Amino acid sequence: MKLPGLAVKGTKIVDASGEVVQLRGISTLGFRYPEYITEASFKTLRDEWGINVIRLAMYTDEPGGYCTDGDREELKKIMIRGVELATELSMYVIVDWHILFDKSPMVYKDEAIRFFDEMASRFKDHTNVIYEICNEPQESPFASIIRPYSLEVIPVIRKYDKDAIIIVGTDNWSQDVDDVIGQEIDDPNVMYALHFYAATHQEKLLSKAQTAIDSGIPVFISECSICDASGDGRIDREWGKKWIDFADEHDISYIVWNLSNKDESSSILKSDTSSLSDWKDDEYSETGLWFKQRISAAKQKQ
């Protein structure tokens, strides 16, 4: 079934009939665990969790990264396979240019332009594809770095797809979403990323998120977890609940980090879980089980 295209209306995502849509999904841990980018894994998350979107996070600057020493053709094959699998399963999918260690999106801007030109050309007829053009900028003020970068990359996508939702990262690991106020990009289907890790990001960041929403900024939580900002460490269920309640209250879409069995708190699977799909509850980590219960309960209410 071909999914309806989505659009941004005010601060919310809507479908073709104008009904509000809240996306809830899971992000890959880069492409370090390609064994989970399969029909069976995605189908389990869709059917047992109730997720409706997969985020394909492709690191740009790390050992094996797209812009460093990685095999670009192989990484593109993984991205394409992930998009096609999500499409076949009637799920939305995010093509994520996952900058992190490179800090500024300008470092590999030319590579980003070429990558998104190729991806948007390939997926121009896919109504389920969302583009995230800079994951977590740092030391990159929105007005002077992120916005100019976006004004070069977005037109490349728009050559082929005039309607796809595009997510733009914000400074300070996609926390300074309020910096967008007064600097919005003149494109009706652009949203702005906010990332939270509940054991670290609490009142201050929630206040920034509320300020952005109150100012009409369309926020997309393209990465989150209930552990600390390292992706590991302690879990804070209380603040996790506050954040997800906030997202639900404002119909903000959110993506859980991450789909792997890496031995850290943010992985949704325990490190000794060997199966790649059809997971039992005792194979999930504390984080994985918490989000599974929360997302599946929200799905049942719909």
CATH number at residue 25: 3.20.20.80
Q: Is residue 108 one of the residues assigned to a domain? A: yes
Q: Which residues of the chain fall below pLDDT 50?
A: none
pLDDT at site 252: 98
Q: Is residue 232 one of the residues assigned to a domain? A: yes
pLDDT at site 2: 86
pLDDT at site 20: 97
Domain extent at residue 222: 7-301
Q: Is residue 137 one of the residues assigned to a domain? A: yes
Q: Per-residue DSSP letters for 51-83?
A: --EEEEEEESSSTT-TTTTS-HHHHHHHHHHHH
Choose, from 19, 111, 136, 152, the residue flagged as catalytic: 136
Interval 137-191: pLDDT, tens: 999 999 999 999 999 999 999 999 999 999 999 999 999 999 999 999 999 999 9
Report how far residue 165's alpha carbon sits from residue 130's, in angstroms, rounded to the nearest whole number: 5
Annotation marks residue 223 as catalytic: yes
pLDDT at site 173: 98
pLDDT at site 218: 98
- In angstroms, what CA-CA distances link 204 with 173, 192, 196, 199, 201? 14, 18, 11, 13, 7
Report how far residue 153's alpha carbon sits from residue 260's, in angstroms, rounded to the nearest whole number: 30
Annotation marks residue 19 as catalytic: no
Give the relative orientation of helices 286-301 and 237-249 as an angle to the nearest 10 degrees: 30
How many domains, the chain? 1
Give the relative orientation of helices 237-249 and 203-214 as an angle to the nearest 10 degrees: 0
Choose, from 223, 238, 264, 283, the residue flagged as catalytic: 223
Q: Is residue 156 one of the residues assigned to a domain? A: yes
Give the type of residue at 118: E
Average pLDDT, the chain: 97
pLDDT at site 222: 98
